[in-house]
Amino acid sequence: MTVTIIGGGMAGATLALALSHLGGGTLQIDLVEAQTPESRDHPGFDARAIALAQGSCRELTAIGVWPALASCATAITRVEVSDKGHLEKVQIAAEDYWLPALGYVVDLHTAGKRLFELLREAPGVRLHCPATLTRLRREREKTIITLDN
């Protein structure tokens, strides 16, 4: 069986790595991405940053991805929640929950490079990059995908 993932941004790249890890290399995974991960024009791995909750980091650890991202992550140790026009606010601190962090902020451009380094070594993963889907034809027993490269 082959799984084809169209789009190699954060979600697509992570899905490919999770399937590779969980399938133990027995599943063929084709990841199709229009941009090279090194490109500054990559819309999924641009100059933005994202916040990952502690639970997401645990899941990424379970599939072997978090160690590659941890060194480009900044810990979120405290969060304040307020409502405009109200005096009260809620403060949440990692130490109150015996956690090293509530989550982490990760630079997307660096994360993209590191995810694709993992993908290049992941068992069963084939990268089609840069490439775009030009045609998809469904048949009774299979789906035929045509790429522009």
CB atoms within 10 A of CB 131: 18
Selection from 147, 126, 134, 129 nearest residue 35 by Cα: 129
Separation in Å, CA 24 to CA 41, 61, 126: 33, 16, 15
Domains of the chain, by residue range, sit at 2-147
Selection from 104, 125, 107, 105 nearest residue 116 by Cα: 125
Higher pLDDT, 40 or 94: 94
Query: CATH fold of 2-147, please?
Result: FAD/NAD(P)-binding domain (3.50.50)
Count CA within 13 A, CB hemisphere, residue 78: 4
User: What confidence tens digit (pLDDT) does each residue in 126-136 have?
Assistant: 999 999 999 99
User: What confidence tens digit (pLDDT) does each residue in 93-142 have?
Assistant: 999 999 999 999 999 888 999 999 999 999 999 999 999 999 999 999 99
What is the model's pLDDT at position 131?
94
